Amino acid sequence: MASQAGSRRVDLTTGPVSRTLLVFALPTLASNVLQSLNGSINSVWVGRFLGEGALAATANANIIMFLLFSAVFGFGMAATVMVGQAMGRRDLDAARAAFGSALGFCFGLSIVVAISGWIAAPMILHALATPGPAFDFALTYLRVIFTAMPASLLSVMIMMGLRGAGDSITPLWFMILSVVLDSGLNPLFIRGLGPVPAMGIAGSAAATAVAGYISLCAMLFYIYRKDLPLRLRGAEFAYLIPSRAQLSTIVVKGFPMGLQMIVISTAGLIMIGLVNREGLMTSAAYGAAQQLWTYLQMPAMAIGAAVSAMAAQNIGAGRWDRVNGITWRGMLFNVVMTGSLIGLMLAFDRPVLALFLGSNSAAIDVARHMQFLASWSFMLFGLTMVLFGTMRSNGVVFAPLLILILALYPMRLGFYHLAYPALGADAIWLSFPVGSLTSLALAGAFYLHGGWRNTKLMVPPDEEECREQTNAATEPTGRMAPTG
């Protein structure tokens, strides 16, 4: 009898491409939307209870959080692809080894991030030119958030590994739990009630930390209670100490993938600094607009991740005949989803922005103006992410990184510096479509003519190391079989 865990895993190498991709991608999209909705709800609480200075502080802190999650995203994507290709080959032991190695590596990294982030928080905020009225808020918020880093980063890694195994439903359930806890605890911790003291902006960050740790513990309990395919037992716990071959692949492939997101987020940090120089009103407007732009990125990130996991399983199974179809359908889904969101956002932007800024805030008109100039570029961004998702499913990581560097620095920032004397702040908003057009053109050319299909994901392991691993991991569940 097939186990409940086995029934949860979707075989991404069979069935109609469009339906399989859509069914797999929608829970990931729902998870991303919920995560963004959680951030937006928390921003509403902060803006309404604590004012524009606190809202600007969270915008400055959140871009730093994105920077940190970007690093883990790369290692998580490397694990997703390794797990996906192993599942496509029907090699469950290799999937668990890749998952365990990524998890152990991420745990050590998260501890380093939490400690160093707490210490370096003031220097980071000074480097961002955080406005004076927002600085103390941002420092308090950021330091508390750093205490949540181990739970947050490990949760991201586990969810990405599960998706690589074809399970996008389990991560959704625990994203729902985290969002319900975080959004519910935010007003309680900010304002206080009964024995719970009013903690101000520190309460918002504390709510995120509490929700993260509870959700992580519940997810681990569920994985073992349901005996999901990637759970580790007995001798498999040794996989938490990465082997030379696994660590090499995670770092060599994962670091450039993470660097792609870091390039995006550091460009965002520079943008924050440029926006902050326009004054507190523009900074608050940009913080509100960022909340809406986060939703515009959700289809791109979800579909890109789904394309990557699905293509990886098909490459592992030798089903190259399905890979192009996965890519083109992913691009079509992105156009439909992102285009619809852009239309809705622009149609109802004033009442939505009022949630963050208050209905009488002069920052609403500033935010609306920047949205009309920049929002459509996120559709182009989504198409690029789908192309990158397919390429990274075969271990191609350096070409996408170079494309992003060229698009965001010489092109986007170069356009800003050249156009600012004539356009003023509009040069910031118009630089978004300039960078997106460049990255899409270069990604499309490389996908069609770059020879990325010839790359191999895994480096060949040392023969002696391979023999040692074979002797150490003799549990029969290493073969692909129903578990439970």
Judge whether 54 and 46 are in contact, CB under 8 Å.
Answer: yes
At 193, phi and psi to the nearest 5? -160, 125
| Tokens read off for 158 | 């586990």
| Residue 472 banded pLDDT, cuts 50, 70, 90 | very low
Judge whether 433 and 376 are in contact, CB under 8 Å.
Answer: yes
- Where do the H-state alpha helices sit in 228-376? 244-276, 280-316, 323-347, 349-357, 363-374
Query: CA–CA separation, 438 vs 484, rounded Å?
Result: 50
Residue 471 has pLDDT above 50, yes or no: no
CA separation, residue 362 to residues 40, 177, 281, 367, 368 (Å): 20, 36, 8, 9, 11
Determine the residue type at 165.
A
| Residue 444 banded pLDDT, cuts 50, 70, 90 | very high
- Residues 13-44 have pLDDT tens digits of 888 888 889 988 999 889 888 887 777 777 77
| Residue 211 banded pLDDT, cuts 50, 70, 90 | very high
pTM, rounded to two decimals: 0.76
Query: CA–CA separation, 218 vs 460, rounded Å?
Result: 37
Burial of 221 (0-12, 13-18, 19+ CB in 10 A): exposed
Determine what percent of the chain falls in helix, strand and coil, rounding each to the nearest 5. 85, 0, 15
Judge whether 422 and 204 are in contact, CB under 8 Å.
Answer: no
Judge whether 88 and 313 are in contact, CB under 8 Å.
Answer: yes
- Residues 37-77 have pLDDT tens digits of 777 777 777 776 776 667 766 766 776 776 677 767 788 88
Determine the residue type at 331.
M
